Amino acid sequence: MASVDFFTVPTATFRILYVFVVLSHGRRRIVHFNVTESPSSAWTARQLIEAFPRDYAPRYLVRDRDKTYGLEFQRTIFNIWTEEIRISPHSPWQNPYVERLIGSIRRECLDHMIVFNENHLWKVLREYFRYYTESRTHLGLDKDCPEPRPVEPAEMGQIVAIPQVGGLHHPYTRVAA
């Protein structure tokens, strides 16, 4: 099962950028994301194809009723043998995993910086998603990351902080002395 959603990000020049996110529910993995200034049904359908190449499409795809998911997007879902689950109007709680992800992106990253342009936002999100996948713990995953990591015993050395996302976050790891 996977979820898709859009969210908007204002830039320093007062342009609005749209971010499309695809999230796999199993381990909360971010499957795909992209940024555009003007999303269309064709662009969104292309993002879905890029997210699920060959036979990797989920059985169910949860989405809201945004007009951007037009006829071409619906045809693409049908062609990749995925069942579309549309949530009720004005009911974001029916798509909780991706809504929680978008809230985390805003609170932990975008609320603390000014985005200059589409390229800058893409780079910032790529770095944040690397942090989200490899370092950020999730209570729903028993305090593990979407990409599981080994437990480091005390014998491995001293604990050091590694800055990520421009210094906003610091995962901790052990290094040999």
What's the pLDDT score for residue 109? 95
Q: Which of 136-143's residues contact partners 24+ apart within 8 Å by CB, and which partners?
A: 136/169, 138/28, 140/28, 141/27, 141/28
Tell me whether residue 75 is in a domain.
yes
Mean pLDDT, residues 155-164? 87
CATH number of the domain within which 124 lies: 3.30.420.10
Say whether pLDDT at 36 is over 70: yes
Element (H, E) at 125: helix 118-134
Which residue would you say has higher pLDDT here, 140 or 51? 51
Query: 135 pLDDT band (50/70/90 cuts)?
Result: confident
Question: Which of 33-37, 78-82, 114-118, 134-138 comes out lowest in average pLDDT?
Answer: 134-138
What's the pLDDT score for residue 2? 96
Tell me whether residue 176 is in a domain.
no
Tell me whether residue 169 is in a domain.
no
What's the pLDDT score for residue 177? 63
What's the pLDDT score for residue 23? 96
Neighbours of 151 (CB within 10 A): 5
Q: Which domain holds residue 101?
A: 2-149
Tell me whether residue 167 is in a domain.
no
Mean pLDDT, residues 156-163? 88
**How many domains, the chain?**
1
